[in-house]
Amino acid sequence: MKDALTVVPSTDDVSTGVRDTQVIASGLSDALADTYRLTFKTHAYHWNVEGPLFYSIHKLTEEQYENMFAAADELAERIRALGELAPQSMADIVARSRVEDRAGPLSAADMIEDLASDHEKLAHRLHAIVDLVEGRKDPVTEDLATERSAFHEQAAWMLRAIGKS
């Protein structure tokens, strides 16, 4: 039993027919990093938003961070299914991510715009994964990236719609 705790995660060769698994897993790791950082940012804004639209923004951001938290697990599990290791440190997450922290206290409008912009960045990254897997025999990753990009496009639209006056 003691030996069971000494197993160190490693990469594996997979024989599912998917080509260039390392390249695909790297793209997924970038999307996972963005997802993880955007999940935290959304949660932080959820905690700190104030103003007349508090309840609407609070509820919308809760739905979004819950969705993204579950998606992070899906992305990591897809990376593992491709035989690669998912990011294992916050430093790796930060280094891979295009999601940036905003300085200072933000208004509800600033929070909404910041989140919407980050959702669009992530949608772009996921679109690139769809292009990346073309010809590499990986419909599973293509479906996952398509599903996730649809979520982020809708999230950006909903955030911007709630901020209109």
pLDDT tens column, 126-138: 999 999 999 999 9
Q: How far is CA 159 from CA 29, 92, 124, 127, 131, in A?
A: 25, 28, 17, 20, 27
C-alpha angle with apex 60: 56 to 61, nearest 5 degrees?
115
pLDDT tens column, 81-118: 999 999 999 999 999 999 999 998 999 999 999 999 99
pLDDT band at 19 (very low <50, low <70, confident <90, very high): very high
CATH number of 19-97+107-162: 1.20.1260.10
Return the domain boundaries, the chain.
Answer: 19-97+107-162
Mean pLDDT of 40-52: 97
| DSSP structural state of residue 6 | G
Amino acid at 65: Y
pLDDT band at 165 (very low <50, low <70, confident <90, very high): low
